[in-house]
Amino acid sequence: MYFTTSKMHVEIPGGKMVDSVIDEAHNPENLNPFKGNIDFEKLQGYIDEYGLDKIAFVNVEMNVNMAGGQPISMENLRKLREFCDGYKIKVIYDITRSSENAYFIREREKGYENTPIIDILNEMMSYSDGCIHSSKKDCLVNIGGFIATSDKEIYEATRSSVVIYEGLHTYGGMAGRDMEALARGLREGTQYEYLKYRINQVRYLGELLMQANVPVVKPIGGHAVFINALEFLPHLQREQWPGQTLSAAIYEHSAVRTMERGAVSIGRDSQTGENIFPPLELVRLTIPRRVYTNTHMEYVANSVIDLYERRDTIPGLKMIYEPKHLRFFQARFEQMTL
Ligand SMILES: Cc1ncc(COP(=O)(O)O)c(C=O)c1O
């Protein structure tokens, strides 16, 4: 499934990102433990439709964000490697949330119950040709990221283009102290006890909301609880941006800052310019690591539940400003009347 900024980076040089996640990922109620898995029939379909020479790489996101923070299984990663080897297609991971994915593999996949997270991660990475990493997430640092690859050709090409955007590869865009923090975070973020606390705190918030029948994506994901805005605000049309409306209403009600992950986020079709209305119209309650207590989670849950009880009084929004790229960051809206 697409991720907003990754999709943009594919589209800027003229590419197209196509969805190859299993159908279950688009259904908030489906309880598949690995909703981030790849559907091989879809992949084969793209090869047949576009031709092998048009496929630059297969992008695999760990703990698929837009599906609700849903993991991919080791079995699926292994199969993908075999599938892509058959066609000599590169497999590039987005490992931004890979430690949380590894935790779910340990929790849910047979044979990994007692495997250290770091060993699970090493096996996951062994099936890829390279990865991108936004380290602000699983690495517990304030800033930074990297690209890594075991492929000499990609390495050479990346090293020469990074100079244009960031500076020389050895001292590029990040300060030395940030790289040191990142190196430490790479290890620290894989500790089992820390991940257990982290994922269970997210789950705690999800369970509080589910007990009050607030519609959320199930199973609860790794980094966030996602509210199904279409179910929460059924009186709104898609053009009234239910996800954005709910996100703004929560902020107005309780100063809890959430994020729309639906039609505003996906943007317009790069070819036709039409709005896309994806099956998932969600609001993401993303929880920073090591910041909040469970009492904060109760405050958040109570605020959302309070709003849910008077949901039919919430009017929709009209988009009054739309930037060219990644509109969800900077668009502006006006409240409509009910
Ligand atoms: C899988 C994934 N990749 C990339 C990003 C974005 O990274 P950055 O904030 O460094 O642009 C996110 C952010 O949520 C993400 O979940």
Decide: 250 and 258 in contact? Cβ < 8 Å: yes
How many Cβ atoms sit within 10 Å of the Cβ of residue 37?
24
Cβ(63) to ligand 1 under 6 A? no
Report how far apart, in Å, the C-alpha atoms of 44 and of each of 6, 51, 72, 83, 98 are: 22, 10, 19, 9, 25
Mapped onto helix, strand or coil, the DSSP state of residue 91 is strand
Q: Which residue has the tokens 């954005």?
A: 244
From first CA to last CA, the distance across the chain in angstroms is 34
Sequence letter at residue 130 = G
Output the CA 313–ligand 1 centroid distance in Å: 34
Ligand 1 atom with least separation from CA of 286: 14
Both tokens of residue 60? 């695999």
The whole-angstrom separation of Cα 42 and Cα 25 is 14
Beta-bridge mates of residue 286? 224
Domains and CATH numbers, the chain: 4-190 (3.40.640.10), 193-335 (3.90.1150.10)
- Name the residue among 121, 122, 128, 123 with its Cα closest to residue 147: 128
Query: Where do runs of H (alpha helix) occur along the chain?
Result: 4-11, 40-50, 74-87, 98-108, 117-126, 152-165, 176-188, 192-211, 229-232, 242-254, 263-266, 294-309, 327-330
Q: How many CA atoms lie within 13 A of 44 on its CB side?
A: 5
Q: What is the pLDDT along the chain (338 residues), one digit of tens a residue?
A: 989 999 999 999 999 999 999 999 999 999 999 999 999 999 999 999 999 999 999 999 999 999 999 999 999 999 999 999 999 999 999 999 999 999 999 999 999 999 999 999 999 999 999 999 999 999 999 999 999 999 999 999 999 888 888 888 887 788 889 999 999 999 999 999 999 999 999 999 999 999 999 999 999 999 999 999 999 999 999 999 999 999 999 999 999 999 999 999 999 998 899 999 999 999 999 999 999 999 999 999 999 999 999 999 999 999 999 999 899 999 999 999 98
Q: Helix 192-211 vs helix 294-309: angle between axes, to the nearest 10 degrees?
A: 20
pTM for the model = 0.95
Output the CA 245–ligand 1 centroid distance in Å: 23
Q: What are phi and psi of 203, to 5 degrees?
A: -65, -35
How many Cβ atoms sit within 10 Å of the Cβ of residue 325?
12
Cβ(138) to ligand 1 under 6 A? no
Ligand 1 pocket: which of 93, 131, 134, 285 to mutate (most atoms within 8 A of CB): 134
The whole-angstrom separation of Cα 226 and Cα 216 is 6
Output the CA 188–ligand 1 centroid distance in Å: 19
- Name the residue among 267, 324, 277, 242 with its Cα closest to residue 3: 267
